[in-house]
């Protein structure tokens, strides 16, 4: 049994894998490691835990305390020059976030051709893999709620409100929501076009993260939702 943990800026997601399939999974708000401890009391004891943490040292410390009574073998993911069929093309490979690195490895296990790996959470990342598994590079932009909050906090006439997507919004709440989604969708489409030129053929697109279901209808039909690419990659990183 391997426990994979993805500690992001908004949520901590986890899954328990038995070598064939996920047998348990869950998520808590970032920082709520007490809830993790309660959830983990009811799962089989894992042989190993693989953790991606991009939420800082305080979260790392809290996770260490939550994992200590559950599992003695804990590994902390970090980007390397090559792993899991992916070659890291970052100028300084170690600077790539562990969540992005794990998502790339997860994507490579699912798609062997050129692929754009999209993770839509607090920030949106769109990372390009070529047919040989080389990570070419990628972009980071503010996520849906960060975009909306930035407008609400920096303009006098706009308030942060719940909206819905519309092609031609006729109210401010929908305009904010739709505008942010259109901006994210446009960034992903542009990366897809650039990767198609680089690869010489149309790439696949895998979308993950909490806002992926909202973004997917704006993406090309071949885009596919994967529940949690980071956890998929962490499971593969747990094996030598």
Whole-number pLDDT of residue 157: 66
Of the listed ranges 146-150, 157-161, 225-229, the least confidently predicted one is 157-161
Residue-wise pLDDT for 82-111, tens only, equals 999 999 999 999 999 999 999 999 999 999
Global pTM exceeds 0.85: yes
Whole-number pLDDT of residue 193: 97
114 has pLDDT over 90? yes
Whole-number pLDDT of residue 31: 82
Q: What percent of the chain has pLDDT over 90?
A: 83
Average pLDDT rounded to a whole number, residues 10-27? 95
Cβ atoms within 10 Å, residue 208: 24
Residue 99 designated active-site? yes
Q: Which of 6, 99, 127, 130 is catalytic?
A: 99
Residue-wise pLDDT for 25-63, tens only, equals 999 998 888 898 889 988 999 999 999 999 999 999 999
Gap between the Cα atoms of 90 and 94, Å rounded: 8
User: Which tokens is 150 given?
Assistant: 């930035």
Gap between the Cα atoms of 210 and 119, Å rounded: 8
In this prediction, residue 72 has a pLDDT band, given cuts at 50, 70 and 90, of confident
On whether the CB atoms of residues 191 and 126 are closer than 8 A, the answer is yes
Whole-number pLDDT of residue 59: 93
Please name each of the domains of the chain with its CATH number.
2-76 (3.30.420.40), 112-144+174-237 (3.30.420.40)
Whole-number pLDDT of residue 209: 94
160 has pLDDT over 80? no
SS (H, E, C) the chain: CEEEEEECCCEEEEEEECCCCEEEEEEEECCCHHHHHHHHCCCCCCCEEEEEECCCHHHHHHHHHHHCCCCCCEEECCCCCEECCEEECCCCHHHCCHHHHHHHHHHHHHCCCCEEEEEECCEEEEEEECCCCEEEEEEEEECHHHHHHHHHHHCCCCCCCCCCCCCCCCCHHHHHHHHHHHHHHHHHHHHHHHHHHHHCCCCEEEEECCCHHHHHHHCCCCEEECCCHHHHHHHHHCCC
Whole-number pLDDT of residue 37: 86
Q: What mean pLDDT, rounded, does the chain reach?
A: 94
Average pLDDT rounded to a whole number, residues 157-181? 89
Of 150, 88, 163, the C-alpha closest to 123 is 150
Average pLDDT rounded to a whole number, residues 166-189? 95
Whole-number pLDDT of residue 17: 96
């Amino acid at each position: 049994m391997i426990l994979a943990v993805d500690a992001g800026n908004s949520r901590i997601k986890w899954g328990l894998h038995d070598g064939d399939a996920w047998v348990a999974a869950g998520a808590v708000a970032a920082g709520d490691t007490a809830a993790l401890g309660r959830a983990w009391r009811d799962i089989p004891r894992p042989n190993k835990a693989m953790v991606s943490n991009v939420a800082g040292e305080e979260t790392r410390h809290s996770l260490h305390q939550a994992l200590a009574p559950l599992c003695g073998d804990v590994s902390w993911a970090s980007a390397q020059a090559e792993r899991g069929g992916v070659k890291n093309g970052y100028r300084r490979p170690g600077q790539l976030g562990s969540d992005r690195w794990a998502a790339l490895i997860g994507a490579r296990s699912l798609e062997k051709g050129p692929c754009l790996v999209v993770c839509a959470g607090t920030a949106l990342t769109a990372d390009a893999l070529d047919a040989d598994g080389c990570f070419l590079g990628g972009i980071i932009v503010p996520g849906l709620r960060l975009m909306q909050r930035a407008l609400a906090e920096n303009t006098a006439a706009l308030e942060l409100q719940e909206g819905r997507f519309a092609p031609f919004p006729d109210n401010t709440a929908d305009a904010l929501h739709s505008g942010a989604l259109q901006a994210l969708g446009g960034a992903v489409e542009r990366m897809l076009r650039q990767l198609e030129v680089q690869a010489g053929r149309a790439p696949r697109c895998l979308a993950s993260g909490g806002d992926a279901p909202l973004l997917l209808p704006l993406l090309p039909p071949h885009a596919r939702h994967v529940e949690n690419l980071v956890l998929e990659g962490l499971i593969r990183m747990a094996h030598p």
